[in-house]
Structure 1
Amino acid sequence: MSAVAGPQSNLRQRHVGGSGKKAAGASDIELDAPLKSTAKSTAPSASEREYKVTLVLITILAFLTRFWGISHPNEVVFDEVHFGKFASYYLERTYFFDVHPPLGKLLFAFMGWLVGYDGHFHFENIGDSYIANKVPYVAFRSMPALLGALTVSVVYLIMWESGYSLPACVLAAGLILLDNAHIGQTRLILLDATLVFAMACSLLAYIKFYKLRHQPFSRKWWKWLILTGFALSCDMSTKYVGLFAFVTIGSAVIIDLWDLLDINRPGGALSLREFGKHFAARAFGLIVMPFIFYLFWFQVHFAILTRSGPGDDFMTPEFQETLSDNLMLRNAITINYYDTITIKHKETKAYLHSHPDRYPLRYDDGRVSSQGQQVTGYPYNDTNNYWEIIPLEDDRKPGRVVRNHDLVRLRHVGTDTILLSHDVASPYYPTNQEFTTVSIAEAYGDRLQDTLFEIRIENGKPNQEFKSISSHFKFIHNPSKVAMWTHPTPLPDWGLKQQEINGNKQIAPSSNVWLVEDIPSLPPDDKRREKPVRKVKSLPFLRKWFELQRSMFWHNNQLTSSHPYASLPYQWPFLLRGVSFWTNNDTRQQIYFLGNPIGWWLASSVLAIYAGIILADQFSLRRGVDALDHRTRSRLYNSTGFFFLAWATHYFPFYVMGRQLFLHHYLPAHLASTLVTGALLEFVFQAEPPENEAAYQAIKAGKKPAVQKRHLTARDRFGSQSMLASWIACFVILAAVAASWYFFLPLTYGYPGLSVEQVVRRKWLGYDLHFAK
């Protein structure tokens, strides 16, 4: 298929055809160079004006579809409870924790700051009223709506810059314009509008950069290289799945560099020195600069969040010392030997607990226990959570401070027994050690060594004082070197449904961390309970950044619990189910996150068709049949292949993820599939016949004007017919898509309410809609 499609295509200076050069992203400028000489002025051609007018119209429609009725509903919807809350925390400068990078949330906070919002509302529950709480929610929702509308324009520009015909551009942009999922996700206080917009901008910027490959190191070349890196950074700085865009662009760059290394490349071979400059420039623009931008957003994040808040518990005491008004550090008390303490698991919040009940002789799987006294995790504060901390040498000298790496014993106050771990399998984990208690006589007799535990403070220094609340520590059994650990799975009835405590052979995981919550034996008026004014400390930026990254990645990987509206990647291209965002029982209104079925099924089918075309072409070439002309094949493999690559890299990685997944994770891949759909429209209706290839070769060879004219006449006649067919196909497809968009519109906009019959009519597949009966 040619970039020169239609009778006036020879005037389209900015739309360039493909070349045989196998590089992704844009078509080759050189092939249309002879045609450029026919342009008689620098004024925009009629064809270019049509592109611009269409762009304006599509952009207006995009704003209408995204902003129409954006004030409904006037209450908290779905994950607005998270991202609205985070914006409020920014405005209050209160530290919070989230598994996503900060850029998208900073944009919401910026919008709130612009309209003078003070962050007083914390978006606690779905259904909470914005009006009653005086929240400028329309301003918050306007940010993603703006980016969602501009995404439609960027999709159009991607197709335009890649040299596709007007029908192909309109079809690709129209599939995003009329898609219910993209509309629904960009009308709420959610991050996906920022993510998808940044991803689309990275594709557009790279295509603009690639088209300047014959002007390396020029100002424009550097500008679009840096803008590509900036867009990639914004993508990753919104959600970590933005890394998939790096894979897309990185794959195209590797192919480009491989071609530059070819000694037989068109335009002459590059020296290794010149190739090194190309490599270094791309590494700087697409790796170094994006990373600097990425760090910058975290620097802004830390600079704003200076007050103690709900995110403190996720950070180390050293980090918390950088926050003002931190209760943990203000209430920290030095622990002395013979203090009675309560010990809490940092992650599950369960207390170290024991009671007179014993382990059963045999577990359900037939394994035998020690029948010792049960040691469990208990969620409530109770006197059976009291433990006395005893030194290695029990000399009963008062006032001795417990320090990091000390060997200690714990006496259970309620039963007057000593904590012990030994080489007996725990109830649920045959590879982990059982925790139990033994009598004082046994603890100071034959079982002495088994009762010794090391206090290992996280990031602690030698001889550092052991303190309540602030000293996060691991409790290491000294003889066997296992760490005391618990998990939320409850024990059977014999364990009173409490948590299992066992010895974990893997010491490194943060799930082994505990803290001392209180010292019940310490009188309220004791000098150790005095709260001196503590000075806010500082930490190097990179140390804070590394700590936050580690915590973010760990908690992100823990998002594995089931969710009623979670879905699997194989369901997404076929739109097998959606997500319920919001309902109103009185009005029978609901917002159900769902794509446009006609548009999604078409785009998914086209992906399969494209793969089939490539396989068929390769098979034909192996059998000596060349069914495609040179430029059509170049466009099919390079430009359309780049879009297909973007879809694959944004889709297939989800198959190896163990975390919760939802339909919205497919939105970047769906955008790429619409680009493939627009490109395939042009391939089907405007693939060059042999006489058009002859016209192209005649122009390229500089043959006589009469020969050129004869070939061009046949080419223009075919171009007019194929353009008409493209427009007809484009309008038919978009008419069906528009009908589907309108049919599902009540589920996207949340109004009007639907009757039972109307809801049932919209249950095309496994859509678990409300009010269906």
Structure 2
Amino acid sequence: MDPTAGVRQRGRKKGDLRPDTPTGLSASEDERIEEKPRKPLIRRDLPETGFKVGLALVTLLAFATRFWGITYPDEVVFDEVHFGKFASYYLERTYFFDVHPPFAKLLLALMGWFVGYDGHFKFDNIGDSYITHQVPYVAFRAMSAIQGALTVPVVFLTMWESGYSLPAALTASIFLIFDNAHVGQTRLILLDATLIFSMACSLLCYVRFSKLRNSPFSRKWWKWLLLTGLSLSCVISTKYVGVFTFLTIGAAVAVDLWNLLDYRSGLSMQDFTKHFFARAFGLIIVPFFFYLFWFQVHFAVLYRSGPGDDFMTPQFQETLADNALAVNSYSVNYYDTVQIRHKDTKAFLHSHNANYPLRYDDGRISSQGQQVTGYPYNDTNNHWVIMPAVPFPEDARTGRPIKNGDVVKFHHVMTNTDLLSHDVASPTYPTNQEFTTVDLEKSYGKRHNDTLFEIRIEGAKSKAELRTLSSHIKIIHNPSKVAMWTHKKPLPEWGFQQQEINGNKNVPQTSNIWFIEDIPSLKEDDPRNTKEPRIIKPMPFWKKYLELQRAMFHHNNMLTSSHPYASQPISWPFLLRGVSFWTKNDTREQIYFLGNPVGWWIASSLLAVLAGIFAADQLTQRRGVDALDRRTRSKLYNSTGFFFIAWALHYFPFFLMGRQLFLHHYLPAHLASTLVAGALVEFVFCVDPADRLTATGNRAAPWLAWIASAISWVLVIAGYVFFAPLTYGKPGLSVEGVNARRWLGYELHFAK
């Protein structure tokens, strides 16, 4: 795939009747071979001055649309509650957890540091006043707005460097400048401005790199290769959906290498190997190490204990200053009375004087044993004594720590019974085992084995001591090898709406983790109350990085709950619904995240048109009809096709995701669709490469292209202005004004 194929002129040799390749990803075989470097054509349609003026104009408009009214509203808007909070944590050096990589959040924190902000405000609620709390919110928003504005000239330069006409470059830029979704999302304290800007830079840098194919391994060739890699690193270091940009560039590189492998390219295998490893170094190794660099900065900055501690293992937490594990962690001994808590749901292991019903709602019969449940509050029914499998002598019961791998019994203090699990189905999970308790006679008699549980401390060495808080444990029923587990779905009325406790056969599952909350029986004169000064424990970078990655992917995959403004990918190109960001009742003002319907519908229609053009061209060639000249077809498939692949690879993968999705996930794909829209202006109105050449070597711009482009610009600008009150949050609209903007039944506020 060659995104700059249209920049060069090539003629088919006389008698050469080979057709272009039908794949749509690369040029024909005779095009792949270039005998010698050729000087690029002078830019067509207008002198270079016209492009420079156009670049200045679109840049000015981009900054104007992003910065106009940036001070309003002076309140927390939508996801500013998250990313503003994270910037504050960075400035306070307090550890937090997020499912996204750190790069864009570090940029926001850097802006806060520039203006002297100390991170005192935590962005807790949408609508909290920035003015009252003296937060430099305009500086934070400016960081996003600058990147959002700079994305526009990058798009213009991408079209220019790809050899498109001025109307084409302006069309792509104007579709982006006056898009309400891009404006709204890139002028708030959010991550998408960094993501989209980095994605656009990746496309531009690769286009520049592709143009230097005739000067391999030159300084400029290396410069643009490495800049492409750095841009890709910024994309993936902002959000993991940046991998779609890697796929886009990777697809183009794969086609490029396939063409270089052709023996007619004149490259020896040694030369091809150099090309392969140069690209692997610039586009994989360099981005990966820069990606790791931002995590190293993340760990270096966040050295204090904070709200993200609970997401990490005790070993990780002990690397943080002021962590509660150091202050409140005690060794757990046999015969201690403890409270056991589930890591994910925070429920205590609990039992009470009530039994399971004879029959459950589905007709299954229970053991009618004493209920064992999860209870969220501190209560004496949460007290359990950890007993040895075989009782110790009376004079040897103190000071005996419990160790990793020990087999123990759990004695419930209030009901004088012992915890038990057996081969009876649990109340709501027929595949899992029931947990109950039995009296002491049975516990030390015929049911003894069923009351034995193994303590497995996660990540600990053999025979490591069990400690409160800092030891994450799995409690494994010794005979059946199931893990004690709970979940948030409440039991019916007979279970007092408490959580079910059952035996999970999937022992490795991370939701099987428990910990000892405290030791209520610990006396003041116990030697364990004497603590040595805290020493922060080191942890290798790779262990911290891999642990954080596991936590990030795990919690990202758990984002499956419903959301009132979530949407499915099938609706995005048609702009069927948006997202409510902010409202103000007394003035009837609102910010509703929504693209410019006119621009989105035109761009989506042109994507369908391009797919139709590809299909029609392939069909006509099959019937021996060659409607396009070779150079036009090359540009259509290699350059416009490159933009189309960028759109497809930033859109279709979302259909495979099971997590919550929102309209803003389509913004990178929408940017690619604007490039396609501009490219089709070139194709439809400037298809003949040999016409209208002036004496200076420049082709006169077809008036029809300017007229058609201008019509689309007017329509897009009109749509932007019409929906601007929903983008900027002002002015407030009357009921009639709100309903006039509910084109597809958008869920706008104040419609009555």
Q: Deviations over 1:16-59 (max 9, x none)?
A: 4589798679x9997998776999xxxx9961111011101100
Letter in 1 for 2:480: S
Superposition pairs of residues 270-419 of structure 1, within 5 angstroms? 270-395=267-392, 396=394, 397-419=397-419
Partner of residue 15, structure 2:
none
Note closer, same or farther for the CA distance 1:24–1:212 as it changes in structure 2 (3 Å cut). farther
Residue 226 of structure 1: aligned partner: 226
Do structure 1's residue 741 and structure 2's residue 738 form an aligned pair? no
Of 500-509 and 139-148, more deviation after overlay is shown by 500-509
**1:18–1:632 Cα contact (<8 Å) kept:** no
SS in 2 for 1:501: strand
Q: What do residues 444-471 of structure 1 show as CA deviations (whole Å, max 9, x unaligned)?
A: 1111111111110010111111111111
The 8 Å contact of residues 349 and 379 in structure 1, kept in 2 or not, is answered as yes
Output one character per residue of 1:214-257: Cα deviation in whole Å (capped at 9) or x when no partner: 11111111111111111011000000000110110001111110
Deviation at residue 431 of structure 1 after TM alignment? 1.5
Residue 242 in structure 1 maps to residue 250 in structure 2: no
The residue number in structure 2 matching 1:150 is 150
Q: Is the 8 A contact 2:46 2:166 kept in 1?
A: no
- Paired with 1:74 and 1:534, the residues of 2 have a C-alpha distance of 43
- 1:544 equivalenced with 2:544 (yes/no): yes
Pair 1:69 & 2:37 matched: no
Would the aligned equivalents of 1:644 and 1:676 in 2 still touch at CA under 8 Å? yes
**Which stretches in structure 1 are left out of the alignment for 5+ residues?**
5-12, 696-710
Give 1:713 deviation, angstroms: 7.9
Aligned counterpart, 1:726: 705
Q: Deviations over 1:392-413 (max 9, x none)?
A: 1112422211111100010111
Check conservation: 2:7, 2:41, Cα contact below 8 A: no
8 Å contact from structure 1 (residues 96, 311) kept in 2:
yes
State the 1:366 CA deviation: 2.1
Given the superposition, is the C-alpha separation of residues 463 and 154 from structure 1 closer, same or farther in structure 2, using an over 3 Å criterion?
Answer: same
Q: Is the 8 A contact 1:100 1:240 kept in 2?
A: yes
CA contact (8 A) 1:17 1:32 kept: no
Question: Structure 2 CA distance, aligned partners of 1:24 and 1:574?
Answer: 30
Q: Whole-Å Cα distance in 2 between the matches of residues 590 and 472 of structure 1? A: 46
Alignment partners' CA distance in 1, 2:60 and 2:581? 27
Distance 1:289 1:552 in 2: 23
2 CA distance for matches of 1:531 and 1:769?
59
Q: Measure, in 2, the Cα distance between the counterparts of 1:202 and 1:438.
A: 65
Check if 1:132 corresponds to 2:123.
Answer: no
Report the Cα distance in structure 2 between the residues aligned to 1:763 and 1:525, rounded to whole angstroms: 71
Deviation at 1:329, TM superposition (A): 2.2
Structure 1 residues 31, 202: closer, same or farther in 2, change over 3 A?
farther
Q: Which residue in the other structure is 1:479 paired with?
A: 479
Paired amino acid for 2:68? W
2:702 partner SS = helix
Contiguous gaps of at least 5 residues in structure 2: 12-19
Asked if the contact 2:582/2:590 (under 8 Å) is kept, the reply is yes
- Using the TM superposition, give the Cα deviation of residue 682 of structure 1 relative to its aligned residue in structure 2, in angstroms: 1.1
Query: 8 Å contact 1:337–1:401 — kept in the other structure?
Result: yes
User: Which residue of structure 2 lines up, in the alignment, with residue 609 of structure 1?
Assistant: 609
Is it true that 1:162 corresponds to 2:155 in the alignment? no
Q: TM-score, normalised by structure 1?
A: 0.92
Alignment partner of 1:497: what SS? coil
CA contact (8 A) 1:101 1:237 kept: yes
Against the structure 1 CA distance between its residues 35 and 243, is the aligned structure 2 distance closer, same or farther, given a 3 Å change threshold? closer
Output the CA distance in 2 between the equivalents of 1:331 and 1:561: 34
Question: Paired residue for 2:730?
Answer: 751
**Other structure's SS at 1:763 match:** coil
Partner of 1:562: 562
Q: Is contact 1:317–1:329 with CA below 8 Å preserved after alignment?
A: no
Q: Could you say what the CA RMSD is over the residues aligned between the two structures, in angstroms?
A: 2.5
Aligned residue type for 2:361:
D
Structure 1's 16 and 59: CA in aligned 2 closer, same or farther, altered over 3 A?
Answer: farther
* Letter of the structure 1 residue corresponding to residue 575 of structure 2: L
Corresponding residue of 1:579: 579
* 1:54 pairs with 2:54: yes
2:102 corresponds in structure 1 to 102
Query: 2:14 — aligned with what?
Result: none
Indicate how the Cα distance of structure 1 residues 45 and 629 shifts in structure 2: closer, same or farther if over 3 A, else same.
closer
Task: State the alpha-carbon separation in 1 of the partners of residues 38 and 675 from structure 2.
Answer: 28
| Cα distance in structure 2, aligned partners of 1:224 and 1:668 | 22
Aligned partners of 2:366 and 2:425 also within 8 Å: yes
User: Which residue of structure 2 lines up, in the alignment, with residue 210 of structure 1?
Assistant: 210
| Cα offset, 1:527, TM superposition | 3.1
**Distance of 2:489 and 2:40 partners within structure 1:** 71
| Counterpart position of 1:698 | none
AA partner of residue 238 (structure 1): T
Answer yes or no: is 1:460 the counterpart of 2:460.
Answer: yes
Per-residue deviation at 1:328? 2.0
In structure 1, distance between residues paired with 2:239 and 2:726: 26
Q: Is the 8 A contact 2:349 2:374 kept in 1?
A: yes
CA contact (8 A) 2:6 2:631 kept: no
Q: Alpha-carbon deviation of 1:370? A: 1.3
The aligned runs of 1:520-531 (5 Å cut-off) are 520-531=520-531
**Residue identity opposite 2:486 in structure 1:** T
* TM-score, with length taken from structure 2: 0.94
Query: Which secondary structure state, in structure 1, belongs to the residue aligned with residue 378 of structure 2?
Result: coil
Matched residue SS, 1:264: helix
Distance in 1 of aligned mates of 2:515 and 2:42: 78
Aligned to 1:436: 436
Q: Using the TM superposition, give the Cα deviation of residue 271 of structure 1 relative to its aligned residue in structure 2, in angstroms.
A: 1.1
Aligned residues: 735
